[in-house]
Structure 1
Amino acid sequence: MSGGEARSRLRSALADTTRQLGEAGVPSPSVDARALIAHAAGTERPLVMVEELPEGFAQQLAHLTARRAQREPLQLILGRAPFRHLLLDVRPGVFIPRPETELAVDLMHQHLDGPPHEVVDLCAGSGALGAAVLDELPRSRVLSVEIDAAAAELTAHNLERAGTGRGRVLQADLLGEIPQLAAVAPVDAVLSNPPYIPPDALPRDAEVLEHDPHRALFGGGDDGLEVPRAVITWARRLLRPGGVLIMEHADVQGKAALAAATDCGGFDLLRTVPDLTGRDRFLVARRAPGEPTSGSERLSR
């Protein structure tokens, strides 16, 4: 096959795949079509540079397109998800990292009084936040806490790829007492994208409702904030004075999250920060000077 023939087939494939995905209601059919075509072609290069297509390309693309048309998340089809400077591995049954969560790492940098070295990621999911910290801060160490066994295993994998030997995982339920977690205090930052959806609010996107585990979506309690309140309580216990909590929440939960941190006590400089679309999505709270944190073990042990 000549380069011209390959490019002609690719143009046809792009038009046809985009049409199929658009008809299926996929939000970004052209972008997803390009990703599926590159995956079927076995290339990371721009499609305009592809000179040859592998045997079985058309059949593979048809299979991938059918999966996406059924609203299976693109990340699960490709087996990876971009997050800041990383391509993280993703697996069925584990929460898929979202681009909006990336802002949490920037907020951590902005609100600390020095470079963070000891970071705890609560409700780690795939390990996205912890892996980004390890990747961007070579002197950092991360402890990721996750209740689900499959997610904890994936987190360990992604942490090791991002920063060999500097990350570890603790499988535990934040709603209970966890001596191993309490013992790591004091730390510089606590990051978290916890489950926070109320029980009566169903996600609208089929990709979320049918493929993200409900344990990673619904936060418990009447308002969905049972787990986020536990995150705030743990942050107070873990952070050094001047350390910072960055916690994602729903765009309608800003006031409730601020109230939860105020009621918990031990924080100052509390604020709600919008995401890049202007929606209130992050609680930022600095650990106030005062009571010492508990525990003496460092994350490097």
Structure 2
Amino acid sequence: MPEPVSFAPSPVADVVRATAARFAAAGIPDPQVDAELLVAHVLSTSRGGVQAAAVRGDRLSADAAAALAPLVDRRCAREPLQHLTGLAPFRSLELAVGPGVFVPRPETEMVAQLAIDALRAAASASPIAVDLGTGSGAIALALATEVPHARVFAAENSVDAFIWTKENVARIGATNLTLAFIDLADAFPELDGTVSVVASNPPYVPDDAIPRDPEVRLFDPPAALYGGPDGLDAVRVLSRVGLRLAHPGGTIVIEHGEWQGAAIREILTADGWRSAATHPDLTTRDRATTAVRP
């Protein structure tokens, strides 16, 4: 790995170039993107703003350089970029994240879209959606903000994650969202038989499968990753809880790993769900399975 460099009073273009080189040497997949985003963070601007500053020949101030240097070191140690900036983009939202909560991924945006589409198609004038194991609140807040006539309920049982969920609900101000600290299996008995959409991004990594990316392996909370010997323990619970919550015709939407679609369809079908179908994400990898309550 290259030796740390002094960033001030260097031109922004040189700082981005040097930072990207260090990130590439550290094995970071998108070094240029991460370099631009981290410089944007210390300059309180956007990635486009950094690119414009580089073209103009702007120079980094001493204060910005002092703030950037330790962040670059931490990113080289593979601490997630979102932990360094404190924010993770998700659809139209910016979510506060940090240690103790799963960082929402771009692939989950299509899972949210499946849930949003089903919620918009619900016959009720005020349909109900439930997000089980909401983590940062990503899926629940997407549902609440993009389907404002719906009522959304979100459940989380990790104390560390719940702190972040509460912050995001307060930041975004979705008044149609109700948050509860409760175990997935016990969630919202008062809603039994009334829910149009049950959604979840549960832990689904098999216990003996070690994630390849250090950002995941070292920094995401294990409770949000590992789902038992085959990774499907939480899915089995979700299927039963979903049947309790959903009304006839209600939809369940479950995120999962790319090889788990067939097994999840089998679980849902055996429990009595109908029309189980698996959907690919934008990379063509299977990412979510849906089914309908009879």
Same fold (TM over 0.5): yes
> CA offset at residue 42 of structure 1?
2.4
Tell me if structure 1 keeps the 8 A contact 2:78–2:215.
Answer: yes
Provide the C-alpha distance between the structure 2 equivalents of 1:55 and 1:42, rounded to a whole number of angstroms: 15
The equivalences for 1:188-203 within 5 A come to: 188-203=196-211
Tell me if structure 2 keeps the 8 A contact 1:258–1:283.
Answer: yes
**Structure 1 residues 3-22: Cα deviation after superposition (integer angstroms, max 9, x where no partner):** xxx99710110110010000
The match for 2:4 is none
Provide the C-alpha distance between the structure 2 equivalents of 1:134 and 1:110, rounded to a whole number of angstroms: 13
- Confirm whether residue 73 of structure 1 aligns to residue 80 of structure 2: yes
Q: Which moved more, 1:34-43 or 1:15-24?
A: 34-43
> CA offset at residue 161 of structure 1?
2.9
Backbone CA RMSD of aligned residues: 1.9
Q: How many pairs were matched up?
A: 278
Aligned amino acid, residue 112 of structure 2: V
Provide the C-alpha distance between the structure 2 equivalents of 1:118 and 1:111, rounded to a whole number of angstroms: 11
Aligned amino acid, residue 71 of structure 1: R
Aligned amino acid, residue 18 of structure 2: D
Provide the C-alpha distance between the structure 2 equivalents of 1:181 and 1:22, rounded to a whole number of angstroms: 47
The equivalences for 1:43-122 within 5 A come to: 43-44=45-46, 46-50=49-53, 53-111=60-118, 113-114=121-122, 117-122=127-132
Tell me if structure 1 keeps the 8 A contact 2:115–2:197.
Answer: yes
> CA offset at residue 48 of structure 1?
4.1
Provide the C-alpha distance between the structure 2 equivalents of 1:166 and 1:160, rounded to a whole number of angstroms: 12
Provide the C-alpha distance between the structure 2 equivalents of 1:247 and 1:169, rounded to a whole number of angstroms: 19
Aligned amino acid, residue 125 of structure 1: G
Provide the C-alpha distance between the structure 1 equivalents of 2:165 and 2:195, rounded to a whole number of angstroms: 20
The match for 1:274 is 280
Provide the C-alpha distance between the structure 1 equivalents of 2:115 and 2:174, rounded to a whole number of angstroms: 22
Can you give the 5+ residue segments of structure 2 that lack an aligned partner in the other structure?
1-7
The equivalences for 1:281-292 within 5 A come to: 281-288=287-294
What secondary structure sits across from 2:218 in the alignment? helix
Aligned amino acid, residue 96 of structure 1: V
The equivalences for 1:161-180 within 5 A come to: 161-175=171-185, 178=186
Provide the C-alpha distance between the structure 1 equivalents of 2:117 and 2:221, rounded to a whole number of angstroms: 32
Tell me if structure 1 keeps the 8 A contact 2:36–2:51.
Answer: no
**Structure 1 residues 40-77: Cα deviation after superposition (integer angstroms, max 9, x where no partner):** 22223612444574442222221111110000000010
Provide the C-alpha distance between the structure 2 equivalents of 1:160 and 1:166, rounded to a whole number of angstroms: 12
Q: Which moved more, 1:10-19 or 1:135-144?
A: 135-144
Report sequence identity in percent.
41
The match for 1:20 is 22
Provide the C-alpha distance between the structure 2 equivalents of 1:12 and 1:138, rounded to a whole number of angstroms: 45
Aligned amino acid, residue 152 of structure 1: F
TM-score by length of 1: 0.87
